[in-house]
Structure 1
Amino acid sequence: MILYNNRLIDREEARVDIEDRGYQFGDGVYEVVSVYGGKIFRLQEHLDRFEYSANQIGITLPVSLENLSENLHKLIAHHELSDGQIYYQVTRGYAPRNHPFPENPQPVLTGYVTRKPRPVEAMKNGVAAIITDDIRWLRCDIKSLNLLGSVLAKQKAAEAGAYEAIQHRDGVVTEGSASNLFMVKDGKLHTHPLGNLILGGITRIVVLEIAKKLGIDVVESSFTLSELAEAEELFLTSTTSEIMPIVTLDGKPVRSGAPGSVTKLLQEEFEGLL
């Protein structure tokens, strides 16, 4: 079963018109939530961001956030999902192909469950990353279906045998292709400030809350590639990657080449929230 607007239907029944604007223009937004022990982690924050992204591109959600929450829980119950993810998106809907918004659009909301396992070993041992230009559009705060820039960056990382691509604009580090980035330097936690150049990640929010609780100083300010090269620790955050240590960058070890103490402490605290 999948979610279609305000009801659950068999996946085989689901149809998307060839002129759906999500298919032809990437005209829509999406979310991914994690499920731990049958419960959705930080659902309200995800719902709020979904509504924000839709509002930013002028899409009125076809259901209320309350109904959406109920339906996501119905999906979990139907699939007996203990641990996994739910992907959901909304497009502006079908209209004859034309760039301007159609009159009286009928948005289409869909959602389904996946059972991608937690990357436990990678979180324990750390991953490799590369550096690449940030070629994405200038509204990265919107969780848009337009992901070609991220796809190309992630593919570049895959071809280099890396987990993630760390992006920069003219030497200023932004975030990963599908993640937020944190740097530990001089005992402080550094991350790019919110704005149009990064996505306001939900796991990013959780990490900042944990850091405050532990008394770790946080600097929400942009930093450069040269500063990145001097990092004591690096890690990325996302719904599916959680808190993921970066132990090599462009083939060179990050300090000792192993997850650092601050990263591991944050991981332990995060685990206690699940």
Structure 2
Amino acid sequence: MTRTVYVNGEYLPEHEAKVSIFDRAFLMADGVYEVTSVLDGKLIDFAGHAARLERSLKELDMRAPCDTDTLLEVHRELVRLNGIEEGLVYLQVTRGAPGDRDFVFPDPETTEPTLVLFTQNKPGLADSPAAKTGMRIISIEDQRWGRRDIKTVQLLYPSMGKMMAKKAGADDAWMVEDGFVTEGTSNNAYIVKGNKIITRALSNDILHGITRAAVLRFAREAQMEVEERNFSIEEAQAADEAFVTSASAFVMPVVEIDGVAVGAGTPGHRAVRLREIYLDESRKAAV
């Protein structure tokens, strides 16, 4: 079946979708994105993703292409047209193609942004085998730019990090700066000690994860203590459990870091329980 995508107000077969070679995302990585999961044909945490998109656009002085209600309508229509029961909706907004290549961008009010959305069908997304076995992680130096709180399309170094992990026979990488873990290549990082969940505090150093916010709220409601502070790889290796969160992985246990087993070397019961809670509550609130 040919996938239907959305480009600047039109629903098109994917092979007909076109964006200018002068688009600033292509030339300058001048764009932001969001990924919203779909479970049971409904959108998970859409309001959070829409709010973060608005923030990212404001931080880059980029005009929103449409309002939130329109974005929701487009998401739902793409899910319907492509018959997605479990999967993802990828959204990207760029500054557009205002003219010839130039480092200086024009007035946002006079520049028409580019809006692109497409779906990815992922059957079994909620019942991932990795959630039962856990992930193996390596650590790498964090060499990204300083505004990681903005969800930009500048993903080359995270992509390189995933390839470093693959080459090392691992599943993913945690990035380390000044001796402390910042985050994973596409996820937020956590450790568990006793009944305490520890994760880095929000700042420009990490992405303000939508799944992170929900999971920490559910953890507190389940009477788990949450501490937002820096932690090192060594502390993580000595923890009882570790896990990551993201829109597409939900809550994913980590069982090994740089070759050292975390806890018993199997998915920890708190991570497993938080995944269950997150999926259950998110399905109830899905739109």
The reply to whether TM is greater than 0.5 is yes
Of 57, 60, 75, the residue aligned with 2:60 is 57
1:101-112 paired onto structure 2 within 5 Å = 101-103=105-107, 104-112=110-118
Q: What percent of counterpart residues are identical? A: 36
1:177 equivalent to 2:180? Answer no
1:38 equivalent to 2:46? Answer no
Q: What amino acid maps onto 1:107 in structure 2?
A: P
Separation in 2, partners of 1:232, 1:60: 45
State the Cα distance separating 1:11 from its structure 2 match. 2.1
1:1-274 paired onto structure 2 within 5 Å = 1-94=4-97, 95-103=99-107, 104-117=110-123, 118=125, 120-273=128-281, 274=283
Separation in 2, partners of 1:53, 1:67: 18
Separation in 2, partners of 1:250, 1:71: 42
CA contact (8 A) 1:130 1:157 kept: yes
Q: What SS class does the counterpart of residue 224 from structure 2 fall into? A: coil
Q: Which runs of 5+ in 1 are unaligned?
A: none
Separation in 1, partners of 2:191, 2:115: 36
Separation in 2, partners of 1:186, 1:134: 28
Separation in 2, partners of 1:112, 1:183: 34
Number of aligned residue pairs: 274
Q: Which runs of 5+ in 2 are unaligned?
A: none
Q: What SS class does the counterpart of residue 129 from structure 2 fall into? A: helix
TM-score normalised according to structure 1 size: 0.96
State the Cα distance separating 1:7 from its structure 2 match. 3.1
Separation in 1, partners of 2:181, 2:18: 40
Let me know the Cα RMSD of the aligned residues.
1.2
Q: What SS class does the counterpart of residue 186 from structure 2 fall into? A: coil
Q: What amino acid maps onto 1:91 in structure 2?
A: T
State the Cα distance separating 1:222 from its structure 2 match. 1.3
Q: What SS class does the counterpart of residue 22 from structure 2 fall into? A: coil
TM-score normalised according to structure 2 size: 0.92
State the Cα distance separating 1:102 from its structure 2 match. 2.5
CA contact (8 A) 2:237 2:261 kept: no
Separation in 2, partners of 1:271, 1:22: 33
Separation in 2, partners of 1:38, 1:21: 33
